Amino acid sequence: MTMFGRVAFLVLRKDATIEIKSLEILSTTLFFAVSCVLVFAFAFVKEGSIVADASAGILWIAIAFAGTLALGRTFERERYAETVRALLLAPAPRAAIYVGKLLGIVLLLISAEVMLVPLVALLFSAPLFARPLLLAGLLVAGTVGFAAVGTLFAAMLVRSRTRDIMLPILLYPITVPVIIAGVRGTAALLSSPPDEAIAGMWIGLLLCFDVVFVTLALWTFEPLMTE
């Protein structure tokens, strides 16, 4: 394995080990996502049934909000243990550290989604599993795009005093395309019959977004993280 891959894997393994031991971020993120779903249910459920397409929106808003929380927490942990400096001082390519962190957050969010999607499907009787592969494609591509931007900004904000308020300010305007693509793609899958062409097109857009923003993040991580 190359140096780059090894560093990324080690960072990922470190984060995963801590998380599996405590389950702190996964459990809090999941709880928050479920609360989000419930709050939105009160707004969109009318006489026992849900407004058309709303379940797609609820799912993605829950992912985005809970994702922001998870992003903040993963770096908060580094800050408490004062390991940010250690990570940055390590004789390793900075971009590899970013990739490791990104993979950790993507895995975390996908584990949360695995539990969140059936819940949304059940609560709103949404046929989310009609095209499981396309839905999985949308979720993975969307999560990678969201986390690619989020990981970079959260890492930059570690040293900032106002990080709690700054992360959403930075993150949401930039990730609007992800939300639109995710919601519209999921809504296309929920229509009867599921519109595969439109869902596929949104996955394509998400993949382009992922490629551009992961490249940008790798490119800017080094100059952004120097003190």
Partner 1 sequence: MRRAFVPLLAIATAMFMYAPILIANAPYESTMGLVQKIFYFHVPSWFAMFTAVFVCGVESAIFLFRKKPSADRIAAAAGEVAVLFGLMGLVTGPLWGRKSWGVWWPWDARVTIALLVELTFVGYLLVRKFGGPGADKLAAAMAIFGMFNVPFLYVSVDIWRTIHPKTTVVPTLPGGMPGPFWFSVAAFLLLCALLMTARAHLEHQRAALDALYLEEE
9/172 with CB nearer partner 1: 172
Site membership for partner 1, residue 220 (CB under 8 A):
yes
Site membership for partner 1, residue 153 (CB under 8 A):
yes
48/173 with CB nearer partner 1: 173
How many Cα atoms occupy the beta-carbon half-sphere of 24 within 13 Å? 14
| Identified binder of partner 1 from the candidate list 102, 109, 140, 205, rule CB under 8 A | 205
The continuous run of DSSP H or E covering 50 comes out as: strand 49-50
β-strand partners of 49: 46
As a whole number of angstroms, the distance between CA 123 and CA 58 comes to 11
Count the site residues for partner 1 by CB under 8 A.
32
Q: Which amino acid is at 41?
A: A
Residues 6+ apart with CB under 8 A from 155: 75, 98, 101, 221, 224, 225
Cα 212 to chain center, whole Å? Answer: 16
Q: Which stretch binds partner 1 (CB under 8 A): 6-14, 39-47, 132-140, 219-227?
A: 219-227
**Which tokens sit at 156?**
């930059």
Closest to 97 measured CA to CA, from 141, 24, 170, 152? 152
Closest to 32 measured CA to CA, from 6, 71, 4, 82? 71
Q: Which stretch binds partner 1 (CB under 8 A): 42-50, 93-101, 109-117, 203-211?
A: 203-211
Q: Which stretch binds partner 1 (CB under 8 A): 23-31, 32-40, 62-70, 154-162?
A: 154-162
Site for partner 1 in 159-198 (CB under 8 A): 159-162, 165-166, 169-170, 173-174, 176-177, 180-181, 184, 198
| Identified binder of partner 1 from the candidate list 149, 154, 203, 218, rule CB under 8 A | 149
Binding residues for partner 1, rule: CB under 8 A, are: 149, 152-153, 156-157, 159-162, 165-166, 169-170, 173-174, 176-177, 180-181, 184, 198, 201-202, 205, 208-209, 212-213, 216, 220, 223-224
